[in-house]
Structure 1
Amino acid sequence: MHYNNPIIPGFHPDPSICRVGDDYFLVNSSFEYFPGVPLFHSRDLIHWEQIGHCLTRTSQLDLRKAWKCNGIFAPTIRYHQGTFYMITTNVSSQGNFFVTTQDPYGEWSDPIWFQHRGIDPSLYFDDDGTVYMTGSHNEAGFGATGILQCQLDITTGQCLTEPRIIWQGTGGKGPEGPHLFKKDGLYYLLIAEGGTEYGHMVTIARSTSPWGPFESCPHNPILSHRSLDDAIQITGHGDFVEDQQGNWWMVCLAVRPNGYPPCHHLGRETFLTPITWTNDGWPIITGGRLKLVTEAPCLPSQLVPIFPARDDFDQPQLRPYWNFLRNPDMTRYSLSERPGWLQLRGSSSSIAGKGAVTWLGRRQEHFICRITTLLDFEPQIDGEEAGLIVRMDAQHHYEIAVTRLEGEQRIIARRTIGTLSAIVANVAFPAGPIQLGIDATHDLYTLTFTAVDQVEQILARGETRYLSTEVAGGFTGVYFAIYASGNGQECQTPAYFDWFDYQPGLE
């Protein structure tokens, strides 16, 4: 049998996984986006359904100071004696914490904070009841210097032992993302090294004690695509899981670069690979590297519900794939003010600002796709605008929007690349609903509009590479979003969106 990678496409980095009976649960980093830590469920490791987020309340997730690539880093999910634990770092707020639940489909607890001189905390529940917190040590900035560990009181968050370095990896920069687990009486320590760039890799060590000394695997790194001419790059940050049949698997992040020189704009995605074990107890990646199509002893296929391509905004709650940018002011969003439409009330914050932008987005998950929305908006004063945006970060985005310029209603296309930002096209447009669109290919975004009873018109284009990590920096991925903004003043008129349509194309 075979399956396709990535198993969760688009910006879904730093995967962590656990199994409870026949059920698998997986979480990803979410950085400056709210709600935080997307949560997925599967019964076959291949087909995944997003069932919600772990962090859905401001009391759990303070993103007010979360600028580019801040916020939530590298969560770990674990299950122990009827309780799920999700442990992570909010680098924009108080640091390291964990939340718990008995029902992963429901609400998670408020945070339990704990002291840790670093990021990427993970939990291991040992057979004798001891709980270990293992994380990356980076007391001064983000340059991790080793793997730090202590015993943790899982009810209070108190460190019960003095934290100490247990392994510094194999010499790659930034040892991070550790996971401690036990197999056949030995403690294994799985980590990422090499930085989250093209030197990324997965390494592993083992010991008879959770405190070490740790013996490095003789064939480290067990996974890296560095210096390979391959469609998959930046492989790293893995987590192991054993299935019901005794087979072992690893989920990890990787990217799919595009063009030359290669660049990636979809972000770091979640991949899956089978693991085998040597006779002397070391893990081997089947085939030696990740593949887009993988032959493996797969579990019986369990298809999951698929959301329809169009969201008509006719449900009382937003679908789980939607995100806000930082903590939203929910008084500016309404699904009931005009039934069947989503109302956005633009604030003074611009889409390039650091405030509570009125913005609702979902990840781009396919190189080729078509995004359309129907907007009804009549700006009353110059500067008010609402529309459709494709965004990597505050300084790298393209949008098509309805606005008011010099007293006249216009449709504009704007491109922002670093400090260069310009309206590259604009046309007059009378009042009334209008369809806005973005057609994505591997290399281009095409911005379109369609007036009632008229044919679709192209307003502008922009290259995908200028919204890539290689240009923009950071380590997130592209979003499509709808937004409203007064650009320095409160919008006098709300914007209404009738629907949002995401149509994947043939890759």
Structure 2
Amino acid sequence: MPSLTGFDNPVIPGFSPDPSICRAGEDYYVATSSFEYVPGVPLWHSRDLTNWRLIGHALDRPAQLELAGTAPSSSGVYAPTLRYHDGRFWMITTVVGGAGTVLVTAEDPAGPWSDPVPVAIPGIDPDLAWDEDGDCWCLFSRDGIKGVRIDPASGEPLGEPVEMWSGTGLQYPEGPHLYRVGDWWYLLLSEGGTERGHALSVARARTLPGPFESHPDNPVLSHRSTDHPVQNTGHGDLVRAHDGSWWMVLLGTRPRGDTPGFHGMGRETFLAPVRWEDGWPLPGPVELRSQRPGLTPHPWPGEPHRDDFDSPALAPRWVTLRRRDPEAVDLGARPGHVVLNSRADGLDRPGAVFVGQRQRDPECGARTRIDVAEGGRGGLAVRLDEAHHFQVEREGDTVRAIARIGPVRQAVAERTVPEGPLTLRIDVTTADALPPTVTFRDADDPQAVTGLRVGAPDTLRLGYETEQGDFEILAELDGRYLTTEVAGGFTGRVIGMYATRGSAAFDWFELRPA
């Protein structure tokens, strides 16, 4: 049982950005962004705001989400808003590079969710709110924050978008959320960009669409220009708990290593208390260890670290790239295995077959047992995007470690192994991140050695296990190259299995904290 006096942040660790929260009775639900991964829009359930379990996805079938033509990483499903209104759950999001803004509904957040209704707005980060007359307002980000009344059944706008409030003048006002509390409408938004300058600001108005007045001390929350271990704080959403207290879910990161600091797990979901002063909501602080809400603790059974692929379908924690192709990811061809059938000759190619789970722990280990068909090639990878991933793979009697860093793809080590199934392994460690220095030798004085500390955030060790269970390490690679600070983009690491030639069968997969 967890402590009754505190909780650990982030409450949803790993790549889980742009959280949106709603409450139905004594149950709480959060939706997060999913970008190029499917199923889309993970949905989380809690009864105490600190213990969350994944219950499914709002966009979990091809009729709802088609990303096969979405080429670049970090496009796809952006910043959902989840609301409970009039006995139904509503989720609105924008599929960048795809269908645009879509709205789906459900009686049960675990599904099924309706087919999507297109919403004709020219922006991203859509929000939903209903006024006293029952009219539905949709706010969005496009050169500031705009709003328009819509018909939620058809998605049609009921008029022209109007300017609402666009923050204090920082760049990228986005992630708007609108609330009616007492006699005021409150508009919460993020600004400053989702990187280190990220901030949350709030304004209020008596009526819609305004005018809105800004809080005199905006931004009301930011960790910019501090040494706080949680950075990039923003994109928050408010909820009033059933005990009357107020809370906020928001995204943040946990950078490690030397300047500028590197985060590999992506933007994660944090929880912060909210107090009200002079009629204004003021969130914070956002701490790694914080005070537990005054709700009855409700821990869920932990998810298993190992999957033996005995079920006819993949568990919700598994995601694939851009589409769920049952012929490429086959759970029926070989009992107790998942068989991956290649669609592309490399993880950097469109159509790559990759099935993975989000890295949720800074230190962890991934293992899988692979059996490659004749002429086949497959393995285990840590993926940030097409141009940034580390792989350990089996092809014939060869096992090799591969690093893809930007335009460079290099097999850094390989070894001959006996025929038959092989256990591949990748360990992520922060305790002794390598390399600690880059060494320079003076050409005129070979004995003069200088060192430049580079402070890697973590080290990834790639290799395989012998039949005796010994870990044969092929490569130790610097984790900074699988971070947003190097690669850019909006996602985090996903660890999983792939096939890049022919077929590869996987008997089991294990991802557990170190």
| TM-score normalised according to structure 2 size | 0.92
- Does residue 447 (structure 1) correspond to residue 462 (structure 2)? The answer is yes
Partner SS for 2:30:
strand
Q: Report what 1:277 is aligned to.
A: 276
Q: Report what 1:167 is aligned to.
A: 165
Q: Alpha-carbon deviation of 1:453?
A: 3.6
Q: Report what 2:369 is aligned to.
A: 374
* Residue 378 to residue 297, structure 1, CA distance change in 2 (3 Å): closer
- Does residue 120 (structure 1) correspond to residue 132 (structure 2)? The answer is no
Q: Report what 2:319 is aligned to.
A: 323
Q: Report what 1:393 is aligned to.
A: 385
1:378–1:432 contact (8 Å) kept in structure 2: no
Q: Report what 2:333 is aligned to.
A: 337
- Give me the whole-angstrom Cα distance separating, in 2, the residues matched to 1:306 and 1:81: 33
Partner SS for 1:470:
helix
- Does residue 183 (structure 1) correspond to residue 181 (structure 2)? The answer is yes
- Give me the whole-angstrom Cα distance separating, in 2, the residues matched to 1:316 and 1:126: 45
- Give me the whole-angstrom Cα distance separating, in 1, the residues matched to 2:48 and 2:328: 40
Q: Report what 1:140 is aligned to.
A: none
Q: Report what 2:481 is aligned to.
A: 466
The letter for the 2-side match of 1:298 is: G
Mapping 1:287-298, distance limit 5 Å: 289-298=285-294
Cα root mean square deviation, aligned: 1.1
| TM-score normalised according to structure 1 size | 0.93
Summarize deviations over 1:132-174 as a string: whole Å, max 9, x none: 001101xxxxxxx211100010111110121011112111100
1:274–1:296 contact (8 Å) kept in structure 2: no
The letter for the 2-side match of 1:257 is: P
- Count of residue pairs the alignment pairs up: 481
Summarize deviations over 1:204-256 as a string: whole Å, max 9, x none: 00000121110001121111000001101000000000001110000000000
Summarize deviations over 1:162-219 as a string: whole Å, max 9, x none: 1011112111100000000011110000000001110001100000012111000112
The letter for the 1-side match of 2:267 is: R
- Give me the whole-angstrom Cα distance separating, in 2, the residues matched to 1:290 and 1:455: 41
Per mean C-alpha deviation after superposition, the further-off stretch among 344-353 and 465-474 is: 344-353
- Give me the whole-angstrom Cα distance separating, in 2, the residues matched to 1:313 and 1:351: 23
Partner SS for 1:466:
helix
Q: Report what 1:497 is aligned to.
A: 506
Q: Report what 1:29 is aligned to.
A: 33
- Does residue 102 (structure 1) correspond to residue 90 (structure 2)? The answer is no
- Give me the whole-angstrom Cα distance separating, in 1, the residues matched to 2:294 and 2:463: 42
- Does residue 62 (structure 1) correspond to residue 66 (structure 2)? The answer is yes
The letter for the 1-side match of 2:424 is: L
1:433–1:452 contact (8 Å) kept in structure 2: no
Q: Alpha-carbon deviation of 1:447?
A: 0.6
Partner SS for 1:14:
coil
The letter for the 2-side match of 1:388 is: L
2:223–2:231 contact (8 Å) kept in structure 1: yes
- Give me the whole-angstrom Cα distance separating, in 2, the residues matched to 1:149 and 1:69: 25
Partner SS for 2:327:
helix
2:389–2:404 contact (8 Å) kept in structure 1: yes
Q: Alpha-carbon deviation of 1:454?
A: 5.7
Q: Alpha-carbon deviation of 1:390?
A: 0.5
Q: Report what 2:348 is aligned to.
A: 352
Q: Report what 1:216 is aligned to.
A: 214
Summarize deviations over 1:20-67 as a string: whole Å, max 9, x none: 001001000000000000000000000001000000111211112222
The letter for the 2-side match of 1:425 is: A
Partner SS for 2:302:
coil
Summarize deviations over 1:2-22 as a string: whole Å, max 9, x none: 111000000000000000001
2:344–2:353 contact (8 Å) kept in structure 1: no
Q: Alpha-carbon deviation of 1:298?
A: 2.9
- Give me the whole-angstrom Cα distance separating, in 2, the residues matched to 1:296 and 1:400: 41
Summarize deviations over 1:299-345 as a string: whole Å, max 9, x none: 11001121111111111221111000111322122222211111111
Q: Report what 1:309 is aligned to.
A: 305
1:433–1:451 contact (8 Å) kept in structure 2: no
- Once the two structures are aligned, what percentage of the paired residues are identical? 45
- Does residue 48 (structure 1) correspond to residue 52 (structure 2)? The answer is yes
The letter for the 2-side match of 1:367 is: P
**Structure 1 residue runs without a partner (length 5+):** 138-144
2:148 aligned residue (150, 154, 158): 150
The letter for the 1-side match of 2:302 is: I
Q: Alpha-carbon deviation of 1:411?
A: 0.4
- Give me the whole-angstrom Cα distance separating, in 2, the residues matched to 1:221 and 1:71: 29
Partner SS for 2:486:
helix
Per mean C-alpha deviation after superposition, the further-off stretch among 345-354 and 193-202 is: 345-354
